[in-house]
Amino acid sequence: MDSRYREGIQERTRVQLDVKGTVQGVGFRPFVYRLAERLGVSGFVRNIMGEVIVEAEGTNDQIKAFVYQLRHDPTPPIRVNHIRVTRLPISHDAYFTIEASKEDGAGEGGFPTDLATCMECMQDIHNPHSKYYRYPFTSCTSCGPRYSVLRKIPYDREHTTFKSFPLCESCRSEYIDPFDRRFHAQTLTCPHCGPAIEYRSSVRSFVSSEALLASSEALREGRILAVKGIGGFHFICDATQEQAIHNLRIRKRRPRKPFALMARDLNDVENLFVVTAAERQALTGPEAPIVLLKPKEHAKQLLPLLAIAPGLIRIGVFLPYTPLHHILISEGSGWFVATSGNASGHPMTYRNDDALSGLRGIADGLLLHSRDIAVPIDDSVGHVVDQEFRLIRSARGYVPVPLRIPLPPALYAHGHPDVIGIGAEMKNTCCLIKNGVAYVSQHLGDMDTNEDLVFHRQVRDHMMQLFDISPEIIAYDPHPNYAISQEGLTGKPIDQYPVLHHHAHMAACMVENELDNPVIGCILDGSGYGADGSVWGFEVLTGDFNNFRRIRSLHPLLLPGGEAAIRNPWMIGISLIDAATHDRHTTLRYITKRFPQYSKHFPILFAQLTGKLPSPRVSSAGRLFDGVSAILGICMESTYEGEAALQLSELADPFAEQPGDDEDRGDVYPFEIVEERWDVTPTIRSLLIDLDNRLPTSLIVLKFHRTVAAMVTEGVRAASNETGIRQVVLSGGVWNNRYLLSDAKRRLLREGFTVYTHRTMPSGDGGISLGQAVCGLWRWAKEHVLIGTCDSDRSR
């Protein structure tokens, strides 16, 4: 054949592309369609479970360009993780089409998360000439509810709660127009065919635009509203009105726990808060999390900061992420207090009937809408440490994102059972594993009541249905008093693997950082059930997914009153002073000066300290921080979990941003190592001397934080000397402490260790379920997989 002919006329080729990543519910199929049209490629695109299948036909150059641009041209929130290319016979398709979804397939891809309102839809909302003007449910392929409305996959309208709202002719024309940004937008509706809103108070009821006007008026008058959003209800009030915030605290029985602020736009945030580049990126991303920010000095002239976040330097701030929020906040002061819409001790409210019956004692009015929520989901919370955004609470916008896990080598050649990790009792999540991919649920809160357990079961059942998972392995915390573990073990018999709390913490950080070799784990948190049956919480471990060994730990602290001491850090403070002085007269002198308001309780406290009355001992970083916080007069009584430690850490926060090496940041307190345990009695003795010498509290706090970082470094050094391991993971809720994390990392890196931390998974108990599930799978593999052979016939 003539070479000119070969160059001028290329042979046609057809390929199948299996695309995985965040490719459903984010406008990926319309993107593929428009790309094919532009390049002259024929074929089709189709959703199959959690991935997208594309068949593309054209010349070799067209197909190469098509595949290249599929990989590299999508814009967020689309994320292409992997494309598998398979050659197919030519079909001679004339066009490129979007085919109906199929419900078979492995379901291993990314699933659509709830996305904040995009700029184009915001412009529609504020454009009087648009049919979406002031429409509370405006969305397109780039924004709107996704996971919270999804009942099953693949992600199509008939599988969402929008099934109840058939498209009108106008919306239908947008839906089928491949060059409209609402082409195949599954959440598309307008005022003629979409959900309705309704305002209700004890005296009146309004619908549609009148409901918006009534709500805005109520907020301006200082009233509290319960507003239904994407994943549930918020309590909202005007953040510039201190009395409204005070009323909300009283009604919700939340005396000091911080509230979050919703701001009208980024300009308003930057006017009142210090915002770094990384914080700005997090605030304005499609996930729209709550970001902890430091207010500027003049912010207190507009906002009652002490009422919003008592005792804290940083305040949670986020931007409106639904059209309804945008409309309401644009007509008020530009600042709302927004907090989860639930009564104290109850799960998040997300059904209209439950809100009408359960929230009226807190809210003056309710702003409802008729679109159902398939699964409730709270707001995500995070902060920036060392110029990197890290999640403290993972929920809306970040869930459910698939996480590929390290597998035991033998399992790469064999299938394995589905797994569920039940999670911890506090800050609970659950985790499911299928085909080497983990899906961690949204933050579910504390599992204190039967209502919480029902909520947990509902969420995990929803996830099992979505991902077509039937767990054959359950991993759980063996704490004998964890109701969530006991509830999870009921039902049909399956393989059960207890995973200790701090082992799960270490494993979760390993998974997130794709580690499967042995590591040194520095686990600092409030409390967790230990291997010896006592309470742990300040540990240096070595191990992997199968086993671990404790190398260092805090010498156990006496916890007078047991659980009562967690709510009363002054009791821990007295215990620390008594252990440090070894002299009752000296102890009395200090505690009479530091805790005079509790003097009537001293006799019973001393009975516990001397052993006349029983008290538990704990190895807990959280309790150590609580006690020091009380000694320094920062927080005597905690009204929410971790309050004392959080307020202590806030005083060290400014030092985290100051340049300079460790040597420039002051000295550390002494500590001793006794029988492989850190003894902090010298630390407390020296701290009391600094108090006597009137050293500024901020400098004492700094020295204490540096001391804890030095203890961690010593423990890691000892573990490495013993094992040769140089990889270190940091996990546990205490690592949410910004200064401690920065200082400890700096010290470890300076000694040549490789340090891994959490970013997309919470370092607190929200990551426990992931660690449980992966440890359970590895232990199952160790018991069942024999030199490349899967023993699936093990008797139960």
Active site residues: 29, 47
- Region of 690 on the Ramachandran plot (φ > 0 left; ψ -120 to 50 alpha; else beta): alpha
Question: In angstroms, what CA-CA distances link 758 with 169, 264, 388, 621?
Answer: 48, 30, 11, 18
User: 3-state SS of the chain: helix, strand, coil percent to 5?
Assistant: 40, 20, 40
Extract the tokens encoding 419: 């797994």
Conformation bin of residue 179: beta by default, left when phi > 0, alpha when psi is -120 to 50: alpha
Strands 197-201 and 365-369, by their bridges, are: antiparallel
Tokens of 196: 């309705």
User: Residues near 655 by Cβ (< 8 Å), separated by ≥ 6?
Assistant: 665, 702, 705, 739
Is beta strand 225-228 parallel, antiparallel or unpaired with respect to 365-369? parallel
How far from 434 is each of 420, 468, 659, CA to CA, in Å?
Answer: 9, 9, 45
Give start and end residues of each alpha helix (H) in 223-276.
Answer: 242-252, 266-272
The Cβ of residue 75 has, within 10 Å, a number of other Cβ atoms equal to 10
Partners of residue 200 on adjacent β-strands? 205, 366
Phi and psi for 379 in degrees, rounded to 5? -80, 145
> Strand pairing of 672-674 and 290-295?
unpaired
Rounded to whole angstroms, how far apart are CA atoms 196 and 208?
6
Strand 273-274 to strand 225-228: parallel, antiparallel, or no bridges (unpaired)?
Answer: unpaired
Q: Are 269 and 319 in contact (CB under 8 A)?
A: yes
| Residue pointed to by tokens 């890196």 | 749
CA separation, residue 24 to residues 19, 97, 141, 151, 470 (Å): 10, 17, 10, 14, 23
* Helix or strand (DSSP H, E) at 570: helix 569-581
Cβ contact 93:381 at 8 Å: no
In the block, tokens 């029902």 appear at 454
For the chain, the straight-line distance linking the first and the last C-alpha, in angstroms and rounded, comes to: 68
